[in-house]
A and B are shown apart, each in its own frame.
Chain A
Amino acid sequence: EDQVTQSPEALRLQEGESSSLNCSYTVSGLRGLFWYRQDPGKGPEFLFTLYSAGEEKEKERLKATLTKKESFLHITAPKPEDSATYLCAVETGANNLFFGTGTRLTVIP
Chain B
Amino acid sequence: KAGVTQTPRYLIKTRGQQVTLSCSPISGHRSVSWYQQTPGQGLQFLFEYFSETQRNKGNFPGRFSGRQFSNSRSEMNVSTLELGDSALYLCASESGVDTGELFFGEGSRLTVL
Contact = CB atoms under 8 A, between A and B. Distances in A.
18 contacts: A32-B100, A34-B100, A36-B102, A36-B104, A41-B106, A42-B106, A43-B4, A43-B104, A43-B105, A43-B106, A43-B107, A46-B103, A95-B56, A96-B45, A96-B56, A97-B33, A97-B45, A101-B42
Contacts of B102: 34, 36, 44, 46
A23 interface: no
Given A42-B106, A43-B90, A99 B101 contact: no
Interface size class of B (residues with CB under 8 A): 20 to 34
Interface of A: 31-32, 34, 36, 41-46, 49, 87, 89, 91, 95-102
B44 interface: yes
Nearest to A95: B56
- The prevalent SS among residues of A at the interface is strand
Interface of B: 4, 33, 35, 41-45, 55-56, 58, 90, 92, 98, 100-107
A19 to B, nearest CB: 21
